[in-house]
Structure 1
Amino acid sequence: MRTERIAAILLAAGTSSRFGEEDKLMAPLRGKPLAAHALETVASMAFQELVAVVRPLEQAPVIHRKLERRGYTLIVNDRPEDGISGSIVRAIEYLMPRRRVRGALICLADMPDIPPTHYNRICMAAEDIRSVVASTDGFSPSPPAFIGRKHFPELLALKGDQGARALLSHGIQIETSGAVLHDVDTPEDLLNGRTVTPT
């Protein structure tokens, strides 16, 4: 499916409890905040819509500004403790009335090394609104992932921190390296990521 028919959802509202006191998404990585890597890569592509789910403005003012400058519609998740599912539900509620959107590409702001080519491979593997396409390192399905519009009602019923994992396990899986799919949960993850060169 062409990206022009897809909404990109960037999830950037997590509490980062495993990272410590510092704001994980603002932690410096290769010359810019961690979240800037994913948000800029996604914004460089021709999506129908750019949607970012974020914490309230007072908790993340810099991220808000960066996202707005790149053309994202911001949706505030004022209950990030509800887990990733709460963010997905809010984004899908926003997209439901937008009939031109045929599916959503769910991306994580703490995955800094996903290249545009991988996002594009996922989108191109999606045939229609029934498609589900996940990333995998060869072991388990993960974001970034495409979920077709037919599954939006199922996404609205999500609860907790499992996200759409059950749905992704039944879809197509596009394999890439674990280095590309790594996400930053701890300061150690960030240190490891400083030396990674995205492919």
Structure 2
Amino acid sequence: MIRAGLLLAAGASRRFGADDKLLATLRGRPLIAHAADALRATPLDRRLAVIANPALTPHLDGFQVLHLQSAAQSDSLRAGLMALGRPDRVLIVLGDMPGVGADHLRRVLAAATDDRPSASRDHGPPMPPACFPAGWLDRLTSLTGDRGAGSLIRDLPDDALIDASGRLGDIDSADDLATWQGADP
């Protein structure tokens, strides 16, 4: 079985301000490093990062890096999936979710089956990180806009949803970053 990790990090960070939020420092490291480290510690055969800012590349050792212009999430997803080919499983992780660790990623990866994806759950609807089997990749590549795979995972059964215990928040603004600075790692 070939398992691939896909790190999506090509957004425009418009709500964050002029700087790239993925290079902002969180607990002494760039934000992108938190997601990259979690993926590196997850048993995968391949790791691909889709990025818009070449300055992120030094934080992505062990990843194949695909450069895109700042893009909608579905564009990044489609480009990443095309570059990966047809692995048996694709674990999708967003670069701005620093609370997601390798243990959570391993559980999401293990919960996917040949017929059904798995996803994360916190206090709301299912969301990434999510893992998709090869049979669902065409559905992923047909998505459009900046909504990602939410429509594909919203009706998953409970046994396909991995509880994240309050760790699924993302960083969209400087205020979000300040909140995460004070949160327990």
* Normalised-by-shorter TM-score class: over 0.9
Alpha-carbon deviations, 1:74-125, whole Å to 9, x = none?
A: 11222x24x10000000111122x5xx2110000110011121111111111
Q: Does 1:173 align with 2:161?
A: yes
Q: TM-score scaled by structure 1?
A: 0.87
Shift of 1:45: 2.2
- SS of 1:15's partner is coil
Aligned pair partner of 1:109 in 86, 95, 104: 95
Distance in 2 (CA, whole Å) between partners of 1:19 and 1:125 is 33
Shift of 1:169: 1.1
Matches within 5 A, 1:143-158: 143-158=128-143
Please give the alpha-carbon distance, in whole angstroms, between the structure 2 residues aligned to 1:7 and 1:40: 15
After TM superposition, what 4+ stretches of structure 1 lie above 6 angstroms from structure 2?
none
1:66 is matched with which residue? Answer: 59
Query: Which aligned pairs between 1:10-159 and structure 2 lie closer than 5 A?
Result: 10-55=7-52, 59-61=53-55, 63-67=56-60, 70-78=61-69, 80-81=70-71, 83-96=72-85, 98=86, 101-128=87-114, 130-159=115-144
Aligned length: 182
> Which blocks of at least 5 consecutive residues in structure 1 are unaligned?
none
Letter in 1 for 2:9: A
Q: Percent identity over the alignment?
A: 35
144, 160, 173: which one aligns with 1:186: 173
Superposition TM-score, scaled by structure 2 size = 0.93
Distance 1:138 1:29 in 2: 24
Report the Cα distance in structure 1 between the residues aligned to 2:67 and 2:126, rounded to whole angstroms: 27
Report the aligned-residue RMSD: 1.4
DSSP 3-state at the match of 2:105: helix
Distance in 1, Cα, partners of 2:149 & 2:59: 27
